[in-house]
Amino acid sequence: MFYSIRHVTRYRYDAPVRESVMQLYKQPKSDGAQRLQAFQVTTHPRATLQAYTDYLGNAVYHFDVPGAHNELVVEIEAAVEVHAQPAPPEWVDSSAWQVLGSSDVQAENFDMLRPHGLTQPSEALRDFLDERNLIKADDPMTSLRRLNRTIFDAFTYVQDETEVDSPIDVALKKRKGVCQDFAHIMLVVARGWGIPARYVSGYLYTKRDGGDRSAPDATHAWIEALVPGAGWVGFDPTNNVLAGERHIRVAIGRDYNDVPPARGVFKGPANSELAVAVTVTPAQAPRRRDDFLRVVRPMPKRAERPAAPSVHAQQQQQQ
């Protein structure tokens, strides 16, 4: 599948602000079953984009607007291809538990096995697990499938009941929430069972008539868990599905706060309003923005240049 993604974030301030500094986790990944074909960031006011790759391999863009401004708009457009993948196994061998307990797995996945930030175990979570009689099954895959369904069944998808960075107890008490809450809850349980699990920030091409609960005009979040024999498998507890061709991965982290789509600070005594528009539309083929390009002045030959990280290259191509 080819997708065309447009994601606009607009901040409005009720008084002029200055020295806005912002970072973005918005560039879809280009690995596994997913290929990033084109990516462009536009800001208003205009700013020079900088980029780096963080320690988890995510592309991070950042920029600053030094002068006074009352509005800041960040618009990204991306073209992504997602290949269909063979479905993960229904279950795996119960020996998978031993594999997960091995020191190699433990060492390689240190960060994804421990509570961190918004993924802290709590009394309310223990009560929830007791109430649902949710315990480890014979194998990790079966356990995770059950967990995915249980969260889906137990919670109602309601926006504005929780914040993107609410502790899991808020959703647990209300039995309401959105994708971030469900992902965080699933992470705590999976990690508690000794399964490496990571937060995934991204987009979902929603099919409301297909039973999706996610809001179509928003970013999405789900999790990936390491299942021996199957690799990292994506689970989407918001929609009770495994992540597949409709899930577009942008960033992975320990929790939401590791990879918020946008985070910024500014100076000035102002209140701010945030508006977001997200559209994910299927496309026949990637838009080839460079079709018309014709090289009129070839690059002069140069001595060896240090290899730039792919993100930098990407950014320079796009600007």
Partner 1 sequence: MDPSKSAVRLTVVSNRARPGHDAPFAAYDLGLAHDEMFGQDGLPRSHAKDLYDTLCTLPVAELERRQQTCERSFLHQGITFTVYGDEQATEKIIPTDLLPRIVPGAEWDKLERGLKQRIVALNAFLKDVYNDGKILNDGVVPRDLVYGSKHYLRQMRGVSVPLDAYVNVCGTDIIRREDGTFVVLEDNLRVPSGVSYMLANREVAKRAFRDLYRGYGVRPIEHYGQELLATLKALAAGFRDEPRICLLTPGIFNSAYYEHAFLARQMGVELVEGRDLFVHDNVVYMRTTAGVKRVDVIYRRIDDDFIDPLAFRHDSALGVPGLMNAYRAGNVVVANALGTGVADDKAVYSYVPDIIRYYLNEEPLLDIVETYRCREPKALSHALENLDSLVVKAVGESGGYGMLVGPQASAAEREAFRAKLKSDPDNYIAQPTIQLSTAPCFVHGGVEARHVDLRPYILHGADTRLVPGALTRVALKRGSLVVNSSQGGGSKDTWVLP
* Separation of alpha carbons 193 and 225, rounded Å: 11
Binding segment toward partner 1, per CB under 8 A, in 29-37, 49-57, 92-100, 146-154: 49-57
Q: Which of 55, 160, 209, 302: binder of partner 1 (CB under 8 A)?
A: 55
> Residues 30, 50, 142, 318: which binds partner 1 (CB under 8 A)?
50
Question: Quick one: tokens of 199?
Answer: 């937060």
Q: Does 110 bind partner 1 (CB under 8 A)?
A: yes
Contact 282, 2 (CB under 8 A): yes
Stretch that binds partner 1, among 142-150, 183-191, 238-246, 257-265 (CB under 8 A): 257-265
Strand duo 262-267 + 2-24: pairing: antiparallel
With contacts defined by CB under 8 A, name the span among 28-36, 110-118, 218-226, 270-278 that binds partner 1: 110-118
Q: What's the length of the chain?
A: 319
Which of the ranges 7-15, 36-44, 45-53, 84-92 carries the binding residues for partner 1, by CB under 8 A? 45-53
DSSP strands (E only) in 89-245: 156-157, 176-177, 197-204, 220-227, 231-236, 241-242
Max distance between CA atoms of the chain, in angstroms, equals 69
**Which of 31, 46, 84, 107: binder of partner 1 (CB under 8 A)?**
107
Q: How far is CA 65 from CA 43, 46, 96, 316, 319, in A?
A: 10, 8, 50, 19, 17
Please select the residue that binds partner 1; options are 6, 32, 44, 48, rule is CB under 8 A.
Answer: 48
Interface with partner 1 by CB under 8 A: which residues? 19, 21, 23, 48, 50, 52, 54-55, 62, 64, 66, 107, 110-111, 114, 263-265
